[in-house]
Structure 1
Amino acid sequence: MRTLLIAALVLANLVSALLIVRDRHEHRQAFIALTRLEKARDDLNIEFGRLQLEQATWAESNRVDQVARTQLGMVFPRTEDVVVLQR
């Protein structure tokens, strides 16, 4: 009877040790995935900041005016070409 109890305790100890090893491995894998995702998030935030700066540069009124004049041949209307409609 005593041998059976010792064998059961040794088996329980072995099983719990194996479960601890499995859980630590899963924790490490999850931490690695988390680190990878945080780096991807940080990279995306940096790229988003760059894109916002680029958008602000392209949308600047002087830039729009320059493109309208040079590439599209647009000019401001003369005073006599402006028509004001009133209700």
Structure 2
Amino acid sequence: MTRLNLLLLCVLIACALGVVTSQHKARRAYMELQKAQNESSRLEVEWGQLQLEQSTWAMHSRIETEAANRLNMRVPDNNHTQVVPVAKESGQ
């Protein structure tokens, strides 16, 4: 009877250690999941900010201002502009 009790005690301890180990692994995996979700959220915010910055840099007014200031470019006046008519196709 003593051997049976000792064997059952060893099995009980092994099961308890298995439960503790699996709970520890589950908690660690959950923490890693939370970190990955936080990183994903941070990257989404950064992506939105980069898209906003890109649209700001590509605005026509900004490009025109930079062309005038850095390259000394200007929009030609009407005296220096020539409109070329487009010939229509005869098939219509």
Shorter-chain TM-score range:
0.7 to 0.9
Name 2:81's counterpart in structure 1.
79
Output one character per residue of 1:8-52: Cα deviation in whole Å (capped at 9) or x when no partner.
121111101001001101111111111111111111110110110
Root-mean-square deviation (CA), in Å? 1.8
Name 2:66's counterpart in structure 1.
67
Amino acid across the alignment from 2:5: I
Deviation of 1:76 after TM superposition, in Å, equals: 3.3
Normalised by the length of structure 2, the TM-score is 0.77
Range moving further from structure 2, 29-38 or 68-77? 68-77
Deviation of 1:68 after TM superposition, in Å, equals: 0.7
Mapping 1:33-52, distance limit 5 Å: 33-52=32-51
Structure 1 stretches of at least 4 aligned residues deviating more than 6 Å after TM superposition: none
Normalised by the length of structure 1, the TM-score is 0.81
Name 1:58's counterpart in structure 2.
57
- Secondary structure of 1:71 counterpart: helix
